[in-house]
DNA sequence: AGTACGTTAACGCAGCGTAATTGTGA
DNA sequence: CTCACAATTACGCTGCGTTAACGTAC
């Protein structure tokens, strides 16, 4: 009851849409640990479950190191309240950070709009005094 | 009529809130070119004007290289229509990119919220079945 | 023997942070 | 002599992309 249906790196790429390089990188960082048959890597259920979490974490903006922490938690407490609440805490911190990013982004867009307006005005106010340089290809 | 009231690197740090390292970095990239008195750098009006544009550009998400292009434009056509419209074009491209970032960010936040909900549910549904492992220091 | 896929280094990139070491003038 | 500030290398960091140079199995 634990065949774990192993798959190769190729199938992993296809299944998750990641490059082999990324997979090896995650492995080098200790986030996943596929079996080895000679030189070749074989990924099992566990690896796939972890990769899912890794990719989710990346989308949320977690760094690989922080993701490693969370994965370690999942190993220790298997669905236990302690790890869940810590995960929740991390997620909320991230959410706050993302919210801040969004605010900054909005501000930057607004500022950029203002700048664009200014440039447009300048173009509208003096669009004819162009030197020979402007006509050249 | 061109004293340009030169200031040192210390004053620059204070005036713009950037580190000396950043200033030297911009210089190494050819974005600014302070005078030299022996080894010491002296920044004039021109440098300050450029730094202002550099920092604005950075806030907008432009890379240093792209900023260098824009600065070059300001040098060539001094307020001319050609450079203004090119600047406008760049700015609009940037705006679009920022807008995309914002959309992605919103999606990520929404997904994270969903995940947070899930974890909350798990915590609410089974908050007592903690093993000895959880109590240990 | 060719080809298709896999493996291990190891450098590249962006934008500085962060030492480490060495002037230099007061 | 000794501060205090400045300057010059030059490596570190993040998350992989991208050659380069070799196995290996078919």
Q: In this complex, is the C-beta atom of A17 within 8 Å of any C-beta atom belonging to chain B? A: no
Q: In this complex, is the C-beta atom of B126 within 8 Å of any C-beta atom belonging to chain A? A: yes
Look at residue A59 and tell me whether its pLDDT is greater than 70.
yes
Give B100 to chain A, closest Cα distance, Å.
Answer: 11
Q: In this complex, is the C-beta atom of B82 within 8 Å of any C-beta atom belonging to chain A? A: yes
pLDDT value of residue B4:
67
Q: What is the average pLDDT across A60-88? A: 88
Average pLDDT value for chain B: 89
Backbone angles phi, psi at B40, to 5 degrees: -70, 145
Q: Which member of B91, B109, B116 has the closest CB to residue A99?
A: B109
pTM of structure: 0.87
pLDDT value of residue A125:
84
Query: Whole-angstrom distance between the N-terminal and C-terminal Cα of chain A?
Result: 72
Q: In this complex, is the C-beta atom of A92 within 8 Å of any C-beta atom belonging to chain B? A: yes
DSSP-derived secondary structure for B75-124: HHSSS-HHHHHHHHHHHHHHHHHHHHHHHHHHHHHHHHHHHHHHHHHHHH
Confidence of residue A78 (pLDDT cuts 50, 70, 90): low
Per-residue pLDDT tens over the stretch B69-120: 999 988 876 667 888 888 999 999 999 999 999 999 999 999 999 999 999 9
Q: Which of A31, A71, A49, A89 is nearest to B119 (CA)?
A: A89
Look at residue A135 and tell me whether its pLDDT is greater than 90.
no
Q: Is the CB of B21 under 7 A from strand C?
A: yes
Tell me the CA–C1' distance in angstroms for A12 and D23: 22
Q: Which of A24, A89, A35 is nearest to B123 (CA)?
A: A89
Tell me the CA–C1' distance in angstroms for B20 and C18: 12
Closest-CA residue of A relative to B57 is A112
Per-residue pLDDT tens over the stretch B46-61: 999 999 999 999 999 9
């Amino acid at each position: 009851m634990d065949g774990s249906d192993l798959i190769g790196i190729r199938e992993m790429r296809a299944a998750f849409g990641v490059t082999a390089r990324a997979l090896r990188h995650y492995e080098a960082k200790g986030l996943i640990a596929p079996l080895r048959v000679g030189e070749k890597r074989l990924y099992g259920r566990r690896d796939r479950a972890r990769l899912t979490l890794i990719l989710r974490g990346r989308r949320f903006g977690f760094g690989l190191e922080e993701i490693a922490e969370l994965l370690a938690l999942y190993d220790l407490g298997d669905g236990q309240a302690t790890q869940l609440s810590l995960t929740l805490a991390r997620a909320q911190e991230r959410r706050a950070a993302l919210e801040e990013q969004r605010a900054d982004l909005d501000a930057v867009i607004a500022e950029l709009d203002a700048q664009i307006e200014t440039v447009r005005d300048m173009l509208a106010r003096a669009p004819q005094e162009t030197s020979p340089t402007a006509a050249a290809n």
